[in-house]
Amino acid sequence: MHLSRTITGLTGGGSDGWDLFLKARRMRTEGVAVIELTIGEHDIPTAPAILDAMHRAAVGGHTGYASVPGTPALRQTVARRVAERTGVPTTAANVIITPGGQAGLFAAHAATCDAGDRALYIDPYYATYPGTIRAVGAVPVAVPTRSRDAFQPDPAQIAARAGGARSLLINSPNNPTGVVYSRKVLEGIAGACIDHDLWLISDEVYDTQVWEGAHVSPRALDGMAERTLVVGSMSKSHAMTGSRCGWIVGPEAAIAHLIGLATHTTYGVPGYIQDAAVFALNQGAELEHDIAAPFRRRRQIALGVLQGQNVVRAIPAGGAMYVMLDIRATGLSGEDFADRLLDSHHIAVMPGESFGQAAAGHVRVAMTVDDAALKTALTRLVAFAQEIAP
C-alpha cells in the first residue's frame, strides 16, 4: 500500500547517529562495560514528590479527557513563570500545553509554515529538527554556524537564506553544542526576523541549565513578542522526560489556532500529568537548580580533564547537559572517531555529523553519567585522541 511521502521522507535517509547508539546498547547487552555519553536524559528519575502529586491527582479522579489547551492551572502557572523570567506580559491565553517540547516544535511549524514553504534552522541542530519541518510539508533550510565562532549564529547568514522563508528555529542553550546565544547575537537574529518577516520559533527547553552568562528569551526583545513562539518543556528542567509535558507561548491569535490543531491531533495532555507539572513548577527555582546541579558540576569536571592538552578542544559553551568536542586534530571524522572509541575503549559519544555538517569533526558528550564515570570516560577519550593524532 502507498505510504505518504511525508512520513516516508521524514528522516532524509541518514542514520542520524543512531547506528552508534544502537551498537553501544548491543555491546552492553553482550556484557561489555560501555560508558554511554549519548542520550540527553538525566541519570536520576523524576523526584518522588512530583510522582506523589501525579498519583494523588490520578487517584483523585483526574483521569478523564483534560481540557485540550491545557488545564487553567497549568496554563496560568506557565504564564506566570514566563512573565517572571522574561518580563514580557503573559497570560494563560498566550499558552498552550503540549505533549512535550517535541510536539510543540511540530505544532509551531504547522502554525507558521504552509506546504512547500522554506523553514530555516541553525546547524548544528537537535536531531529531529529537519524531520519536524518536513513533517508539516515545509522545506528545511540549514543556516550553518562555525566551530571557530563557538557555533553562535551569524544574522547575516540567516538574512542570506531568508528569501521566501516563513520561520527560523533556534535553540539556546543549545543541543548539541551547549552554547548559550549572546544577547548581541539574539538581537541580530531578532533584526533578521523583523527585516524578513519571519516567525521565530525559540526552543528553550534547556532554559534552566545555564552555567555561564544568562538565558535571554528572544520573545523579550523589541518587536518580537508578536512573532515569536517559545517552546518549553518539563523534560529537562524537572527530569520529567517520560511525562510528555511541554508548552508553546506566543501571541493569542496563534495560540487560538494551535488549540484547533491540538483538538484535531493530540487532544491534550493527561490531567494528572498536568497537575504534577503545576506541583513541580510551584516548587520554584530551588528544585530546578538542584536538577541542573549535576550538569553544572560535571561540566567543571570535563573542563578539568581536557585542560593541559591540545588534541581535543572543548567548544566554549555555557549551558545544557552537553559538551561538544572538536577532535579534528586527530585527522578523523566525528563518525570514525566515535566508532573507534567505542570499539577500542568502550566509550559511546555521538558523532557531530549526526547533528549537521557544521559539526563535522566533532563529537557530543552527554554528561549524563555519574561524576566518576564521566571523568574515566573523558580521560580515556583524551588518551585515545592523543594515541591516534598524527
**Site residues (vs ligand PLP, CB under 6 A):** 40, 100-102, 126, 171, 175, 203, 205, 233, 235, 241, 246
**Segment (H or E) for 235:** helix 234-237
Minimum CB distance to ligand PLP, residue 350 (Å): 12
**Which residue lies nearer to ligand PLP by CB, 218 or 305?**
218
Chain residue whose CB lies nearest ligand PLP: 101
**Which residue lies nearer to ligand PLP by CB, 125 or 279?**
125
Minimum CB distance to ligand PLP, residue 379 (Å): 26
Q: Within 13 A of 143's CA, how many CA atoms are on the CB side?
A: 26
**Which residue lies nearer to ligand PLP by CB, 90 or 233?**
233
Minimum CB distance to ligand PLP, residue 176 (Å): 8
Minimum CB distance to ligand PLP, residue 332 (Å): 25
Q: Are strands 347-351 and 362-366 parallel, antiparallel or unpaired?
A: antiparallel
Query: Which is it for the CA torsion 346, 322, 316, 285, positive or negative?
Result: negative
**Which residue lies nearer to ligand PLP by CB, 98 or 330?**
98
Distance from C-alpha of 201 to C-alpha of 355, rounded to nearest angstrom: 18
Distance from C-alpha of 365 to C-alpha of 357, rounded to nearest angstrom: 17
Asked if residue 166 lies in contact with residue 113, where contact means CB atoms within 8 angstroms, the answer is yes
**Which residue lies nearer to ligand PLP by CB, 217 or 233?**
233
**Which residue lies nearer to ligand PLP by CB, 86 or 235?**
235
Minimum CB distance to ligand PLP, residue 60 (Å): 26
Minimum CB distance to ligand PLP, residue 204 (Å): 9
Cα-flanking dihedrals φ and ψ of residue 213, to 5°? 75, -160
Distance from C-alpha of 250 to C-alpha of 90, rounded to nearest angstrom: 9
**Which residue lies nearer to ligand PLP by CB, 112 or 235?**
235
**Segment (H or E) for 68:** none
Query: Which is it for the CA torsion 11, 15, 21, 23, positive or negative?
Result: positive
* Full DSSP string of 351-384: EGGGG-GGGTTEEEEE--S-HHHHHHHHHHHHHH
Minimum CB distance to ligand PLP, residue 243 (Å): 9
Tell me if residue 144 falls in helix, strand or coil.
Answer: strand
**Which residue lies nearer to ligand PLP by CB, 101 or 140?**
101
Minimum CB distance to ligand PLP, residue 322 (Å): 9
Angle (CA) 119 124 129, round 5°: 40
